[in-house]
Amino acid sequence: MGSGIVLTGGNFEQEVLNSPIPVLVDFWAPWCGPCKMIGPIIDQLADEYEGRVKFGKINIDEEGDLAGQHGIVSIPTLILYKDGVIEEQKNGAAPKRDIEAMFVSYI
């Protein structure tokens, strides 16, 4: 898991909706191959953008309610929040440059 914050129903509002900086949320599961592929990329970006972008991870098996609220039907799904509003969404595994492109214009 590295640098990503584990998001739950209990901390989602504080960590994501009330965050002063953009938050990239990764909906994933331990059994998901593509999720395992992008996990290290997310951790690397979290290190590179520390203090400018927050990275959170939601395990859909443990947080089914949050996944349902976001209409998650496939994983990995990445959702970018800024000021509590969804700005970008990407489904499926993506290279680092595509993930980075989701948030660079918001910082």
Least Cα distance to 75 among 27, 6, 40 occurs for 27
Decide if pLDDT at 21 tops 60.
Answer: yes
Catalytic residue among 16, 35, 45, 72: 35
Taking the whole predicted model, whether its pTM rises above 0.85 is answered as yes
61-99 pLDDT, tens digit each: 999 999 999 999 999 999 999 999 999 999 999 999 999
Side-chain-side CA neighbours of 7 within 13 Å: the count stands at 26
Catalytic residue among 7, 23, 24, 32: 32
Decide if pLDDT at 2 tops 70.
Answer: no
32 is catalytic: yes
In this structure, whether the domain defined by 7-87 belongs to CATH 3.40.30.10 is answered with: yes
Decide if pLDDT at 17 tops 60.
Answer: yes
Q: CA 69, 31, 11, 88 torsion: positive or negative?
A: negative
21 is catalytic: no
Q: Place 56 in a pLDDT band, splitting at 50, 70 and 90.
A: very high
